[in-house]
Every structure is written in structure tokens, then in C-alpha cells.
Structure 1
Amino acid sequence: MSRPKALCIGTIWHATDAWNSLSSIADLVTTDATNRAEFLAECRSGRFDGVVAIYRTLSSVQITGRIDAELLDALPSSVRYIANCGAGYDQIDVDDCTAHNPRILVSNVPTAVDDATADVNMFLILGALRNFNAGMQALREGKWRGNPPPPLGHDPEGKTLGILGMGGIGRNLARKARAFGMKIIYHNRRPLPAELAEPIEAEYVSFDELLARSDVLSLNLPLNPHTRHIIGKKEFEKMKDGVVVVNTARGAVMDEAALVEALDSGKVFSAGLDVFEEEPTVHPGLLKNPNVILVPHMGTWTLETSKAMEEWAIDNVRRALETGKLKSIVPEQANLQ
């Protein structure tokens, strides 16, 4: 019987030894494609026949495009697993993977990203509350704080932080925010079990109550058809005047045009964004607004976290090849293995 193959789409920067170690149980293959058309042609040429598991990076979307029914149909029938190197997996249509014949199981990296992303989240909260960006921008232009100086910012102590999406990153953020004296409320599909909520003193509220009570609203939920533009014009109208909005999840969970309008009207005092709807393009209304802190999707941009993510995803490939089970299958497929 021939050995299985494992396909790498994208570059492994820090865990090459872990990937190369898979050669003891599988033949390792890569792609030469630079765009979707070329990748589909490679698939249909038979080059990837025998591939059982695929490791893919988030940046590999530039090669493959979205992993959807068309791409899945082009893959060889041997493919059973896709290991996504990232917590978010909105670039993969999990429903199409589940419905595909044969079924393809998907894994992500659910916890290795938590600390680094929550650190950036807290950085954006503090920077947006204090309205640091306007002063920093004026300083670089040789104008000190600016003339006139920017409006005074706000202390985090005593402010209510509303977290929309209380997964691992949200809970990590809550612990950090508590150290700054913030009160934590949150909304999730369902309340956290007491053992998770009590240590961070987080209060579960309805979605509308979250919008109405938050001094700072942090978006920490995955992007899917149900969460796309979950924050838009109607939601901004329900928020406090002068609210601060921070997003480290995915750009499209918020309507950027509606955010720009809310910033321009003063409804939103300031915003901190690490993600954008059409990355790497940023809405011009955000770029020109001095009260917005913009970070180019660097939530996990650390050596330690990047390596941990790669090792986690590669371990998913190893376990798939050795045991037929993934270490961290995505929640939508949890009952399938």
C-alpha cells in the first residue's frame, strides 16, 4: 500500500522541523500555484492524488481563494482533513466540507492565539479610550499634541466593557480588563458555565442590553453568515453616545461604513481596529479619522504565538494521519468524529 501524502499550502515559517518530521509517516508535497486557477489546474492534473491531509495558512487564500464546493470537487477523493493554521476559519466553507462526498473534516487553532490577540485587544481599548492616536499623529507631523489638542480621553477604571463573543480570546481579555478596574458584561449564544464566568466576574446580558450598557464594546466573535454585519447602523443607534468600539475578530462582523458614519457624527468617540472588511484595503473614512487606532491584522504577530499556531496545526495533521481524528475539530463538525 502506498504511503499517504500531506499537502502544505502556504509557508511554514517557524515550525519547519515539526512539518518535516511528518515525513516518517507521509510523503510531503507542496503547490507551485500562485492563484486559484493554477491551483485548480494542479488538483485536476493528479499532482495531489493520495493527499489525505492539507495544512493551510490564512494567507494561502491568495493562492486558493475560498475553500468552497468548486475547490473541494477539484481535490482528489483521498482528501479527508484540512488543518487551518488560525483560530478563524471563515475562508473555509465548513458546510460544503461536511456535505462533500467523501466528507472532509476541518480543524483550527482554538487556544494558542488567545493571549496575543487579547493583548492587542487591550492595547486598542486603552489607546482608543485615551484617544492616543490623534496625539501620536500630531506628534509625527511636528505639531506636538496638535492645535487644538485632541479631546481628553477616558480612564478605563469603572468603565463597562461589553464583550460580544466570550470564547477563549474574550475570556482572556476579560481577565486583563479586570486588572484595569473595568466591569465586564458579555453576550454569547449561551451563558458561560459558572466555573468560567465567576473567576472573571462576567455578567451575562442580552444583545440589546450589551449595546445599551457598554462604555467599550469589544467584538470577539467568529465570522459566519449569522454574524456578518452583526454590528451596523441600527446597533450603533442603540449604543451610548461616546461609546468606544474595538474589533480584533474579523472585519466583516461590523459594517465599516456604518462605523465611519457613527464616528463622524460623534456617536462613537473612538475606535480600535486590528481587522477590516476588505483586507488589505481599509475604508478611507477610517484612514482619515484621527480618532481611530488602526493595526494591520497583527493580533497574533509574535514569534512565540506564530510558532505555537504552526505546531498546533501540524499536530492536527499528524493526528489525522496516525489516528484518523483531529486534535481540534471545528465546533460545527464536533459530532462527526
Structure 2
Amino acid sequence: MAVVLTTSRAFPDCEQAQKILTDAGHELKMVTPQKPLKSSELVPMVKGIGAMLAGLDEINADVIQAAAPTLKIIARNGVGYDKVDLKMAREKNIRVTITPGANSLSVCELAFSFITGLSRRIHLMDKSVREKSWQRVSGIELHGKTIGILGTGAIGRHLAVRCRSFGMRVIAYDLHPSQELIEDHGVKYISNLDEIYRQADFISLHLPANPDTWHMINRDTIAKMKPGAFIINTARGELIDDDALYEALNNHYLGGAGLDAFASEPFLDERFFELDNVIMTPHTGAFTKEAADKTLIIAAEEIVRALSGEDNLYQIN
């Protein structure tokens, strides 16, 4: 038997994931924070645990060192792992797993809702009705517009299909183009990001955060975009230079932005709170009942495999 620490807010509501772990004989230590835990908060929690089912918590070297004598696996209930110190986990022989594809539909649907919401300025008209001012705001049709999708993994692929169904032209960037998108959905891959910036009416980010993508949306790249273009980010906040984005939104060079991911969370940059051309959500792309259940079940199954000495299906280190 091992102690399994869970820090996902959704875990207490997923009876199936709980049953998978308890049926295997493991003890649950459930923590339900309102926001991802900092390393200083995690260190006292991880001593003596055998596994961790983690959200977007800061699992750095200090956390891993504190847990290392007993910890066998860190199972992320999602696909991002930039908050986990993979090098230290590898040194301590701790497995790190993810749940690929489990929440891709939910994140895709949020990205698409940003596109439709921004194009029709729904947030502004909702406000006008509530304030009894009854102000109609002119929007744009999506049909015939071009969207540049940067990253066509599971989320980007789903988004491309939905955008095509709305009559949008889809151009994309990915180191590994999808032949299915090319052949079945008419997606055109472009290897030059500058060309995508120049052509796209909407740009949707679906790339990991790493040294190559850090602040890829900056003053220089924004200057290459169409006046009035929209930026959608449901991936990682580190992809965008906040100062550059604020300037382009504030002077209305960009038409708007839909943001679900921020470099620092909770997001406290009050400059953005005054803008009427940005919609922001609290990193909630994967926060649907269906996605939460799928990711938690997969993560629980990966924990059982690791603690039983079996190979994991989605180990990344």
C-alpha cells in the first residue's frame, strides 16, 4: 500500500478515479487548493507519499527532494509538464506521466468559443444589456476569414476541423504536419511563422512553453500581424510578452485577445482589466466534467501501474 497525494480540485468529485486507487489498496491524501500549489506549500505535504496526482502545481527540485525517499510517480492530470523538474525526477528515478488527448476537446471548444465570442463582441453586448444601455456592437463573420493555428497536436487538430466547418481558411504551423488535416480538411501548412502572422485574421496558440517558444508573440511579431487580428491563447502564458500584447490591444492595433493561460497565475495585471477587447478565463480550458474525469482516470491508472512495477503508457521521462 502507498499514500497517494492528490492536488486536483476535481479529484474529490471523480469517484471512478478514487475507486481505481483504493481498489488497488492505496490510501488517498486529498488536497483541494483553489489555485496551483507553490513548492513551499507542497514540501511539507509530500513526505512519505508514494505517488502524486498533480495539477499545475510547482513541483521543483525542493519538492522532489523532500518526496524522493518514497515517491515513485508524479502523474499529471493534463499534458503540460513544464512545472515539473524532469531532470531531478529522472535523477531520483521518479516517473512522470501525462494524460494526452483526454482534455483536448474541452480546450479546443474553449478556444473556439473565444473566436466566436470575440468576433461578435458578445462580452460587450452582454454588458450593455445588464447596464440597460442596449448598445449593439458590430461584429464580423467567420466565414472566409483565415485562422493560423500554431501547433496541430490533438487540440489544434480539433480546432482546425471546427474552423473549417464554419467556412474558415485554415493555415497551420507544426514541425510534424498532419496528413489527415491536409488531405481531408484542406489545411495548408506554412513553415514560415512570419507568413502566418501576415495572413491570419485569428492566431490560436497550441504550443508548449520552452526556450524556442518563450515570448514568441512579442512587439516584433505583432507588428507583422494584420491590423485588427485576434490572438487566442489556451496553451501557456509564457508564449506571450504581456507588455507587447497590452500595448497592441490598448492602441487597438489588434482586434482582441482570448486568454486562458498566463505566465503568472492568478493573473493580477490590472492593465488588462480595463480593456474592452480582451476576454480572460482562469486557466479553465480543461475544466469540464468530461475532461476532468478522463484525465483523472488515466492518471489514476498510471499510478497503479507504476506502484505495481508495470510499465507506464504515457511516461515522458
- TM-score by structure 2 length? 0.89
| Pairing 1:133–2:123 present | yes
State the shift of 1:184 in Å.
0.8
Spell out the pairing of 1:255-274 with structure 2 (5 A cutoff). Answer: 255-274=241-260
**For residues 31 and 131 of structure 1, what CA distance do their matches in structure 2 show?**
40
Aligned counterpart, 1:191: 176
State the shift of 1:75 in Å.
1.3
Aligned counterpart, 1:166: 152
1:82-128 CA-partner distances (Å, limit 9, x unpaired): 10012222221223323x2x322211121111111111111110111
Q: Say which of 59, 63, 75 aligns to 1:67.
A: 59
Aligned counterpart, 2:210: 224
Q: Are the counterparts in 2 of residues 216 and 243 from structure 1 also a CA contact under 8 Å?
A: yes
**What amino acid maps onto 1:177 in structure 2?**
C
**For residues 282 and 127 of structure 1, what CA distance do their matches in structure 2 show?**
23
**For residues 280 and 307 of structure 1, what CA distance do their matches in structure 2 show?**
24
**For residues 147 and 30 of structure 2, what CA distance do their matches in structure 1 show?**
45
State the shift of 1:231 in Å.
0.8
**For residues 273 and 82 of structure 1, what CA distance do their matches in structure 2 show?**
28
Aligned counterpart, 2:83: 91
| Pairing 1:203–2:188 present | yes
Aligned counterpart, 2:107: 117
**For residues 200 and 170 of structure 1, what CA distance do their matches in structure 2 show?**
13
Q: Say which of 156, 172, 184 aligns to 2:142.
A: 156
Q: Are the counterparts in 2 of residues 260 and 286 from structure 1 also a CA contact under 8 Å?
A: yes
**For residues 298 and 41 of structure 1, what CA distance do their matches in structure 2 show?**
27
**What amino acid maps onto 2:179 in structure 1?**
A
Gaps of 5+ in 2: none
Segment of structure 1 superposing worse, 153-162 or 18-27: 18-27
Secondary structure of 1:13's aligned partner: helix
Spell out the pairing of 1:212-251 with structure 2 (5 A cutoff). Answer: 212-251=198-237
Aligned counterpart, 2:265: 279
Secondary structure of 1:268's aligned partner: coil
Instruction: Provide closer, same or farther for how the CA distance between residues 134 and 22 of structure 1 changes in structure 2, counting only shifts above 3 A.
Output: closer
Aligned counterpart, 2:69: 77
| Pairing 1:40–2:43 present | yes
Secondary structure of 1:74's aligned partner: helix
Q: Are the counterparts in 1 of residues 229 and 254 from structure 2 also a CA contact under 8 Å?
A: yes
- TM-score by structure 1 length? 0.84
Aligned counterpart, 1:54: 52
Between the two proteins, the alignment pairs up a number of residues equal to 311
Q: Are the counterparts in 2 of residues 116 and 305 from structure 1 also a CA contact under 8 Å?
A: yes
| Pairing 1:8–2:13 present | no
Instruction: Provide closer, same or farther for how the CA distance between residues 36 and 290 of structure 1 changes in structure 2, counting only shifts above 3 A.
Output: same
Secondary structure of 2:203's aligned partner: strand
State the shift of 1:5 in Å.
4.3
State the shift of 1:273 in Å.
1.7
Gaps of 5+ in 1: none
Q: Are the counterparts in 2 of residues 108 and 329 from structure 1 also a CA contact under 8 Å?
A: yes
